[in-house]
A and B are shown apart, each in its own frame.
Chain A
């Protein structure tokens, strides 16, 4: 028997505010985290959350990772923010799509305008993509394996999957895992706009016929994962379980999803197989649902192929309808939303979904949250994440 992986803590900083529960409740209430075509964490104050010293020694993406980790670790009941296990047995995996792009741009301006010897000695430790896992490990004394995962918009899900595997392989007793991103910068905006990925209307409406691209967002999501036997020994409050993980590659195109969705289908099937779950047992699917014309169509195809007749019966919704696309944080934040949906037996809505497009024929939970009914004794859900580069990562959770 492989070791089981339980979820004992969750933390999030999202455009709907700070807090994992806040994310879920506001989403289900139909609130929008998007304003002016972007989804910013407008109320997040890094100095407030982290103090002057840490705030100035971290890029915004790592600040989100730290705040979300603080919440997740407190939620898990880790006394004094330190792990309840030998620290060398506790890992940290924080994914990101880009890393500290705000720092890169600011330091590039300094280099150009004021010269090389004005570039900050903090430039590299702030901008490096692994900074999130580094600072979280440092803050909480996590001395097991720690690293970052960079797989664009699949990074958050890959991070949680890799963390679960680390525990199952016996390489760690617990792992703090998630994703963080702070891409609301001029270069990222221009780059995503140039490739036609972002929405010109500034409206995120996944699966709707009028969708015209994603709305960029920022934030972080972090879970505390623990080996089930050890978590039970210490009397941890259990929030849910990582039942399965599947990951694959399209090897098809730099940015476009394979229209046949063969890679996504394999990731979904592998995750379900890993979980020992049949398609008809799924109570909820948290879609990648970016609101781009290509993704939402390919993802619908993938769900049909992977789930068969069960695809039409399961509620499928996208958090990107309320918080936009958090890129490397998306998979982690959405895993948290999935966890709460399963715990609360409530499928959050795809906000803004009004007009159906031919072929996009799933139950996208339009506009209003809806109770989840389960015949499983516990609710089982799946969260999809797909990234530029053709990366697919799928998590199956239960609560």
Chain B
């Protein structure tokens, strides 16, 4: 069963997942851009897979192509729940 979508739960999962991709956890803040974190399109696809598995929220390429910051990613997931 997917986990219930709350802003807090999504933020925690997004930050936890991005931290495994390389950037320092302390730098993964809502206003941090993926460029700053050295997170590229391949990482974003992996993040979307983790989100789908955890929350049952499906994000396709078109959904995430304009996402630039951690906060935008979190908000998108919450808005799609």
Residues of A within 8 A of B (CB): 51-54, 56-57, 117-118, 120-122, 125
Contacts and interface: CB of A to CB of B under 8 A. Distances in A.
Interface of B: 20-23, 38, 42, 45-46, 49, 52-53
B50 to A, nearest CB: 10
A152 to B, nearest CB: 30
A120 B53 contact: no
A53 B22 contact: yes
A56 B42 contact: no
Contacts of B52: 117
Nearest to B19: A52
Contacts, number: 26
A56 B21 contact: yes
Contacts of A117: 49, 52
22 contacts: A51-B22, A52-B20, A52-B21, A52-B22, A53-B21, A53-B22, A53-B23, A54-B22, A56-B20, A56-B21, A56-B22, A57-B42, A117-B49, A117-B52, A118-B49, A118-B53, A121-B42, A121-B45, A121-B49, A122-B42, A122-B46, A125-B42
A121 B46 contact: yes
A122 B42 CA distance: 7
A53 B42 CA distance: 12
A54 B42 CA distance: 13
Contacts of B46: 120-122
A56 B18 CA distance: 12
Nearest to B38: A53
Nearest to A52: B22
A52 B45 CA distance: 18
A122 B40 CA distance: 11
- In the complex, the 8 A-B pairs of residues with the closest C-beta atoms, listed nearest first: A53-B22, A121-B45, A52-B22, A121-B42, A122-B42, A121-B46, A118-B49, A120-B46
A118 B45 CA distance: 10
Contacts of B53: 118
Given A53-B23, A118-B53, A121-B46, 4 more contacts: A52-B21, A56-B22, A120-B46, A121-B42
A186 B52 CA distance: 30
Nearest to B53: A118
A74 B45 CA distance: 35
B33 to A, nearest CB: 16
A56 B42 CA distance: 12
Contacts of A120: 46, 49
Contacts of A125: 42
